[in-house]
Structure 1
């Protein structure tokens, strides 16, 4: 293998990592890619089973995605899940501009209190369903929404004068349960505007699978951008898993996943997603062109999933030992958060939790960064003076 790329400046020097799973709220769980199975539809029951199991298995966090597809509304589902989960944090996707920002802040405050600090936020800047804005405008809106949220969580008054939003409002209705800045913000986007937005305002930059060299280049660029704002950030990787007892079994499972694929139908399914033409997806599609005949872009990273799925398009494929070693390489590169998934989601979460997860030194970012309080914080929704 090639030498491990050098880690850039990061916020969390502790090598412990936050390990997350993925909950299929958006019609994307399969046994065979591109072949819909009614038993794996994104019903409330199926999505609840996924998140309950991840909670029981010890994952620290779970991504609740957002998309205009058959499935579950992100915030509605998160509110319900707050009542039947115990320790897992909910990484809740928010599409900026979808909800009036002060009311979004109020919704997130309610949810953060319901979860008693187990809320993380995935900031999304893609188009709203049925609309199309230029990239510059989308990131302007996202930047303003983030600033409004952060003012509400950390100041006595929301006083904001931007290009798209102007507000002068008291912040009591939106105070978060979490302290020292409110819920952590996770963000992914490969364009220059996206990178600058994350560097200035967010806490974790999420990447999709690429070669180690390309990931390292992205991380170095983001680290330099963050430093220009006097900040450091952490880095996360969203990637699928195929873990089996032997390498042959793992590779066979990858082939089986594609064994019933109809490329035309798979392409249609892929382009239902709102991000299917984003710079990040197109970049992964381009990278797959340089893969070997078995679709590996580098040892143990298989790009076949991107044939039938938008977003994250590759998986770590191998034995428990190989998968663990690959994760350790990523950790040495400076990656401190992982959002894993596999097909089907329930079965693969069990395999990874049994064979690899116990070997990893794990951490909860919100606790480590003093966002999640040890006791009940004083807020307008807890013990603060009622005005």
Structure 2
């Protein structure tokens, strides 16, 4: 089981911060700006605690993922960066060149999260006017070129959406960065099967995740899988659920209504599935044991959290692993503190069960905490 954390490049807070919904929330809790100093603190903490990598989002609502993570390689040593980017907003040759440079100069610490783009209104802000199905078709052509360039090939393609002539890389990466890809619509499956190394799903109940994984396996039997979840884990279940209640308790109904109205206009099938878990209501937010859909009331994208004691959260993670989930991409509010709750509570529990080991060869425990990079813990 591999674990990744999340870099809140649109700012952080002790309240839920909107992501991708276009509706900012959480400012009343004391927003933490997405500075290099603060993001570096999160990245170094994640690295020390035993996370393999950190996801950085993409969109008009956050800082650029490529530039931000390039800066953070200088304040970390081992942590990998799962850089989200959108095909069609740059050429496949330039994307392959950027990835090759990142891999070489960071010592092989790049992971690529390909985001086709589920919202036409946001794509148009960047000058992209294709519809959703056409965007998936373009992604397939784009990734075909990128993959070939990573293999050291010279590529000429006159496709429906992508056109390159004599494209090649001056420096082919020694290890091509793995490609992570998510999408719940029918058009997404074949693209994932042909071009992805890891297929990503948002944190739906286990039965729904099992169905999605079976769908992708029918197209690509050897696919690896990852899941995107928030976490609220504490020493006791009562403490964890109290924190979940605090997060949603201070959100006014007007804010929920505003966010939900925006999300209902989404073209994303994955977003539709997230919305169906709670229906825009505070009632019935526990949609599966320890799986809470409250985050999705005021945030776009990943809308569920695992909530409970460290042992309970470890149990749920093992259930997802039993379905075939290999990698877990997690986050929590605020991201610095919640990383420590998970890293010093859940990861040692999984280590005791023989399900996890620190990638640097030592357990993540509170007693192992030492000052790093001049920042006291």
State the TM bucket, normalised to the shorter chain: 0.7 to 0.9
**Cα deviation per residue 1:240-291 (whole Å; 9 max; x = unaligned)?**
1010111111111100001211233355567889x95411111111122399
1:177 matched to which residue of 2? 174
**Given the superposition, is the C-alpha separation of residues 129 and 63 from structure 1 closer, same or farther in structure 2, using an over 3 Å criterion?**
farther
* 1:205-224 matched pairs, under 5 angstroms: 205-224=199-218
**Given the superposition, is the C-alpha separation of residues 101 and 267 from structure 1 closer, same or farther in structure 2, using an over 3 Å criterion?**
farther
**Given the superposition, is the C-alpha separation of residues 339 and 284 from structure 1 closer, same or farther in structure 2, using an over 3 Å criterion?**
same
2:370 matched to which residue of 1? none
Correspondence 1:139 to 2:139: no
**TM-score of the two chains, using structure 2 as the length reference:** 0.84
1:375 matched to which residue of 2? none
Aligned equivalent of 1:45, options 9, 14, 37: 37
Deviation at 1:73, TM superposition (A): 1.0
2:270 matched to which residue of 1? 280
Correspondence 1:338 to 2:328: yes
1:20 matched to which residue of 2? 4
1:316 matched to which residue of 2? 306
**Partners of 1:90 and 1:331 in 2: how far apart?**
22
Unaligned runs of 5+ in 2: 17-24, 360-377
Correspondence 1:111 to 2:95: no
**Partners of 1:235 and 1:364 in 2: how far apart?**
20
Aligned equivalent of 2:52, options 51, 60, 83: 60
Deviation at 1:364, TM superposition (A): 10
Unaligned runs of 5+ in 1: 1-16, 366-387
SS in structure 1 of the partner of residue 229 of structure 2: strand
Correspondence 1:163 to 2:155: no
**Given the superposition, is the C-alpha separation of residues 121 and 150 from structure 1 closer, same or farther in structure 2, using an over 3 Å criterion?**
same
Contact 1:18 1:364 in 2 (8 A): no
**Partners of 1:290 and 1:298 in 2: how far apart?**
17
Deviation at 1:148, TM superposition (A): 1.0
Contact 1:246 1:319 in 2 (8 A): yes
**Partners of 1:364 and 1:234 in 2: how far apart?**
21
1:237 matched to which residue of 2? 227
SS in structure 1 of the partner of residue 74 of structure 2: coil
Deviation at 1:159, TM superposition (A): 2.5
Total equivalences in the alignment = 340
**Partners of 1:320 and 1:243 in 2: how far apart?**
6
Correspondence 1:193 to 2:187: yes
Deviation at 1:61, TM superposition (A): 1.1
**Given the superposition, is the C-alpha separation of residues 290 and 97 from structure 1 closer, same or farther in structure 2, using an over 3 Å criterion?**
closer
**Cα deviation per residue 1:40-62 (whole Å; 9 max; x = unaligned)?**
12233322222121112220011
**Partners of 2:322 and 2:87 in 1: how far apart?**
33
Contact 1:207 1:238 in 2 (8 A): yes
Contact 2:13 2:30 in 1 (8 A): no
**Given the superposition, is the C-alpha separation of residues 46 and 266 from structure 1 closer, same or farther in structure 2, using an over 3 Å criterion?**
farther
SS in structure 2 of the partner of residue 82 of structure 1: helix
**TM-score of the two chains, using structure 1 as the length reference:** 0.82
2:368 matched to which residue of 1? none
Contact 1:20 1:61 in 2 (8 A): yes
1:31 matched to which residue of 2? 14
**Partners of 2:153 and 2:138 in 1: how far apart?**
23
Deviation at 1:38, TM superposition (A): 4.9
**Cα deviation per residue 1:312-366 (whole Å; 9 max; x = unaligned)?**
001011001100111111111111000011111101000100011132434899x
Cα RMSD after superposing both structures: 2.4
* 1:81-160 matched pairs, under 5 angstroms: 81-126=72-117, 127=120, 128-130=123-125, 131-160=128-157
